């Protein structure tokens, strides 16, 4: 019975809870009219198969829509920047749709032409969450395409950054070409080498052997000089910066292998090691490709342009003109609608301004701005239409200057990993062993064995196993993290995660939710009539605290208020049903109803008597308390916030008295605190934040993680992005990264056994090409199998074995 009730109270379109059962069609209920409208559109065009592929696949549509929202797309200059190809009939565009999440999305978007006949074709890139659309611009327009997508719940993400760089994110296929060439050459070289290794009578016709050797040599050239170039570039980069990375011995081994193979082929001594060389390059490139796949999922280097819309409505001579933001000038009169970002510093001219500055300053409660007061760029208008007079252009605004501050653009230093350290000593050891073996055979008068020993040592002892282990383990870890909505900039971050010993948390938007607050009442019991009187007065005020308490009371019908008066920053008062009611701070109402609850206090005075108070506190993210308790066992913690200290007691209780807690901190102070932890206390610091005011601290920390409500949400530049719903799993992610590092060491130790066996024969100068050819691929295959198997087992152990919803 309870199960059927739960299902009936879920929106048929998006799955959210339904609070108003009157919004429905037949037995199908919807949480809002927006979801109902999307269903009706799909039903009218016979596209309801969308709901059969996945249960409740839609995205909530509770936002109001404006008919003029995309007027700016009729602007030829803006339109041409978003269309990347056009001829006399058709136009092509690529749009980013962050709502894409399942196979229903793919099916619906690739059938969008049934809703808008002007669309000729649409093709979805699920990984990048992009849709490539070809449309007939005589039958529809770019604006028409975008409005069709928004109409079914897939509003494209259009930003100033997209306009500046072009909406098409080009895929670099260079590595694919390298892998393809290396794989093709490796397969063919190996096929011809096998004929030599396993010929039954030990002899191949000379002409056939020469042909095979020549073809193998020719095929190996593109492998070394094209496919393997990134190993040589990395090795050279390390040498230029005076350190030896793990790619140096790999590059050295590849060159020696190639030269030794040419020598053997020319002198008729054998086929060399061209098959092994090609195979190693092929496997290592695949490993690096696996590591790099995370870049297609999310952007880690967004700047302020990603935060801004493409255009604004500018009012000139009482005519509204959609204008590209870069063309908005000082003294222009602009319009900003509800839930839109204000991209310029401006003075409020008209409207009721409730500005959310949480992303810029960290303040948790919105700020009420009066007409004639300054509104800073980066704030979000929460309700209603505003008209503002521009005082600074977008390039000079508060947000732009804050972002362009040098503290947010700290130059990346070279991060030396422990694997590079191993590679450095490994290189020294291999060179020493090779030289000792060579000197021994030189003294024995065996010149041929001397060169054989030196080159064979360098070939067999190549740290390819360590590189393969590192690449494949990290690649699989990144894949598992991605499936759990934790995205890292690069595989190097995994090792830095494993070295963390201090974690710094931001408050607003990081451990607390960006939307919603907890409201609790303490005081005398208020009957329904009194609650109506209190709610009636609260509804006269646009102050965020008044609105939160009013929403908490949830009184639909209110009474008339007489002689209403609002004292800025203090409270409100008025006469309701012959009662004089004052609501606000304790100083304003003339007393307090003392409770130990932490938060913003809204005290109620009725006819001179304090009857109670409402306490407004932050709503913490699910699982944050358990997360902090788990982290405290292994790391030292601190919190630094730009918000006020109303939550001090709650925060201190969660983190413990030994943890540092700072409030009202500027971006510079946050940055300086991270520096102090690193330079004075020598901590490896992880910073977790979500706003622009965290950017400097995120850049300065050893690992900076940005928390995002969705992966398309604007986040400052960081080393990683974690979905807010997965923040409670942060400790699990860190422990999984530590375990991944151990996997690399384990598999490398196993592969070292192969090397020791090979070196035993190599230093004696008696290692045959057949043994080397078998030893190196076996080592590679063993490493790949072990890394995959161990990481999959660990993902199940840490309960990270999620599967994609596609």
Which domains does the chain possess? 1-64 (no CATH), 71-165 (3.30.70.100), 174-293+418-473+738-797 (no CATH), 309-342+344-396 (2.70.150.10), 485-513+621-730 (3.40.50.1000), 515-619 (3.40.1110.10)
Does position 224 have pLDDT exceeding 90, yes or no?
Answer: yes
| Cα–Cα distance for residue pair 394/413, rounded to 1 Å | 31
Q: How many CB atoms lie within 10 A of CB 404?
A: 12
CB 228 within 8 A of CB 254: yes
| Cα–Cα distance for residue pair 563/581, rounded to 1 Å | 11
Does position 524 have pLDDT exceeding 60, yes or no?
Answer: yes
| Cα–Cα distance for residue pair 79/143, rounded to 1 Å | 9
| Cα–Cα distance for residue pair 32/583, rounded to 1 Å | 33
pLDDT-derived band at 384 (thresholds 50, 70, 90) equals confident
Sign of the C-alpha dihedral computed for residues 139, 143, 145 and 148 taken in this order: negative
Q: For the residues of 746-773, what is the DSSP string, one character each?
A: HHHHHHHHHHHHHHHHHTTT---HHHHH
In the predicted model, what is the mean pLDDT of the chain?
Answer: 82
Max avg pLDDT among 70-79, 467-476, 629-638, 797-806:
629-638
pLDDT-derived band at 293 (thresholds 50, 70, 90) equals low
User: Residue 750 contacts by C-beta under 8 Å, 6 or more apart in sequence?
Assistant: 782, 783, 786
What is the distance in angstroms between the CA of the first residue and the CA of the last residue of the chain?
31
Per-residue confidence (pLDDT) for residue 773, from 0 to 100: 57
Among 179-188, 355-364, 387-396, 472-481, the minimum mean pLDDT is found in: 355-364
CB 365 within 8 A of CB 545: yes
At residue 327, the 3 state secondary structure works out as helix
Per-residue confidence (pLDDT) for residue 7, from 0 to 100: 40
pTM of the model: 0.74
Read off the tokens for 297.
Answer: 């999922």
Does position 20 have pLDDT exceeding 90, yes or no?
Answer: no
pLDDT-derived band at 685 (thresholds 50, 70, 90) equals very high
Does position 141 have pLDDT exceeding 90, yes or no?
Answer: yes
Spell out the SS3 assignment of 284-301.
HHHHHHHHHHHHHCCCCC
| Cα–Cα distance for residue pair 4/274, rounded to 1 Å | 66
pLDDT-derived band at 806 (thresholds 50, 70, 90) equals very low
CA 751 → CA 277, 474, 495, 743, 775, distances in Å? 17, 17, 20, 12, 10
pLDDT-derived band at 682 (thresholds 50, 70, 90) equals very high
pLDDT-derived band at 683 (thresholds 50, 70, 90) equals very high
Does position 247 have pLDDT exceeding 60, yes or no?
Answer: yes
| Cα–Cα distance for residue pair 251/234, rounded to 1 Å | 9
Percentage of the residues of the chain whose pLDDT score is greater than 70: 84
Per-residue confidence (pLDDT) for residue 288, from 0 to 100: 82
Per-residue confidence (pLDDT) for residue 226, from 0 to 100: 95
Does position 97 have pLDDT exceeding 80, yes or no?
Answer: yes
């Amino acid at each position: 019975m309870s199960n059927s009730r739960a299902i009936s109270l879920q929106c048929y379109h998006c799955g959210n809870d339904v609070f108003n059962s009157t919004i429905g069609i037949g037995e199908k209920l919807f949480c809002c009219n927006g979801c109902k409208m999307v269903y009706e559109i799909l039903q009218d065009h016979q596209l309801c198969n969308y709901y059969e592929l996945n249960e409740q696949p839609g995205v909530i549509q509770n936002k109001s829509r404006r008919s003029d929202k995309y007027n700016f797309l009729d602007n030829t200059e803006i339109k041409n920047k978003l269309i990347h190809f056009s001829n006399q009939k058709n136009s092509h565009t690529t749009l980013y749709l962050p709502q894409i999440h399942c196979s229903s999305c793919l099916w619906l978007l690739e059938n969008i032409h049934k809703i808008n006949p002007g669309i000729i074709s649409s093709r979805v890139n699920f990984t990048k969450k992009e849709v490539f659309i070809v449309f007939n611009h005589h039958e529809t327009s770019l604006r028409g395409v975008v409005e069709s997508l928004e109409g079914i719940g897939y509003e494209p993400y259009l930003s100033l950054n997209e306009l500046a760089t072009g909406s098409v994110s080009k895929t670099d296929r260079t590595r694919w070409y390298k892998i393809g060439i290396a794989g093709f050459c490796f397969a063919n070289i190996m096929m011809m080498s096998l004929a030599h290794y396993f010929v039954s009578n030990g002899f191949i016709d000379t002409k056939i052997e020469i042909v095979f050797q020549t073809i193998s040599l020719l095929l190996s050239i593109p492998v070394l000089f094209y496919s393997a170039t990134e190993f040589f570039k990395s090795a050279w980069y390390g040498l230029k910066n005076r350190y030896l990375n793990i790619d140096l011995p790999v590059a050295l081994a590849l060159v020696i292998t190639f030269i030794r193979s040419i020598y053997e082929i020319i002198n008729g001594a054998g086929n060399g090691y061209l098959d092994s060389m090609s195979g190693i390059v092929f496997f290592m490139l695949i490993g690096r490709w696996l590591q790099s796949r995370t870049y297609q999922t999310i952007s880690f280097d967004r700047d302020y342009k990603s935060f801004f819309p493409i255009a604004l409505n500018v009012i000139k001579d009482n005519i509204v003109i959609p204008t590209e933001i870069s063309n908005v000038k000082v003294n222009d009169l602009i319009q900003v609608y509800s839930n839109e970002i204000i991209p310029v510093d401006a003075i409020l001219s008209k409207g009721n301004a409730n500005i959310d500055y949480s992303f810029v300053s960290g303040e948790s409660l919105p700020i009420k701005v009066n007409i004639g007061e300054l509104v800073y760029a980066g704030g979000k208008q929460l309700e209603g239409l505003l008209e503002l007079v521009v005082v600074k252009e977008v390039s000079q605004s508060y947000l732009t200057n804050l972002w362009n501050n040098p503290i947010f653009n700290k130059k990346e230093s070279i991060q030396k990993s422990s694997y590079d350290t191993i590679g450095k000593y490994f290189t020294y050891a291999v060179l020493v062993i090779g030289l000792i073996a060579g000197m021994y055979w030189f003294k024995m008068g065996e010149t041929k064995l001397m060169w054989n020993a030196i080159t064979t040592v360098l070939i067999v002892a190549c740290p390819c196993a360590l590189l393969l282990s590192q690449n494949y383990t990290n690649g699989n870890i990144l894949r598992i993290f991605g499936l759990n909505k934790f995205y890292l900039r690069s595989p190097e971050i995994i090792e830095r995660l494993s070295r963390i010993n201090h974690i710094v948390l931001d408050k607003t938007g990081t451990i607390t939710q960006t939307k919603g607050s907890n409201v609790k009442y303490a005081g005398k019991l208020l009957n329904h009539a009194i609650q109506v009187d209190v709610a009636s007065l609260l509804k006269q005020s646009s102050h965020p605290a008044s609105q939160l308490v009013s929403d908490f009371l949830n009184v639909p019908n209110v009474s008339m208020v007489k002689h209403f008066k609002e004292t800025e920053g203090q409270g409100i008062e008025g006469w309701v049903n012959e009662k004089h009611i004052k609501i606000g701070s304790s100083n304003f109402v003339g007393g307090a109803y003392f409770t130990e609850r932490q938060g913003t206090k809204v005290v109620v005075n009725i006819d001179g008597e304090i009857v109670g108070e409402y306490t407004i506190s932050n709503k913490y993210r699910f699982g944050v308390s358990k997360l902090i308790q788990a982290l405290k066992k292994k790391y030292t913690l601190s919190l630094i916030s730009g918000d006020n200290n109303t939550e001090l007691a709650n925060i201190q209780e969660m983190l413990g008295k030994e943890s540092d807690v700072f409030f009202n901190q500027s971006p510079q102070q946050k940055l300086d605190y991270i520096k102090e932890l690193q330079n004075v206390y020598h901590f490896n610091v992880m910073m977790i934040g979500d706003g622009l005011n965290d950017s400097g601290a995120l850049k300065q920390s050893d690992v900076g993680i940005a928390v995002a409500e969705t992966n398309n949400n604007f986040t400052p530049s960081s080393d990683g992005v974690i979905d807010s719903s997965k923040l409670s799993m942060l400790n699990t992610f860190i422990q999984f990264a530590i375990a991944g590092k151990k996997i690399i060491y384990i598999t490398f130790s196993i592969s070292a056994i192969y090397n020791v066996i090979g070196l035993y024969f190599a230093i004696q100068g008696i290692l045959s090409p057949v043994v080397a050819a078998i030893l190196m691929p076996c080592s590679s295959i063993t490493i790949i199998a072990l890394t995959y198997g161990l990481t999959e087992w660990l993902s199940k152990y840490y309960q990270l074995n999620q599967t994609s919803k596609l």
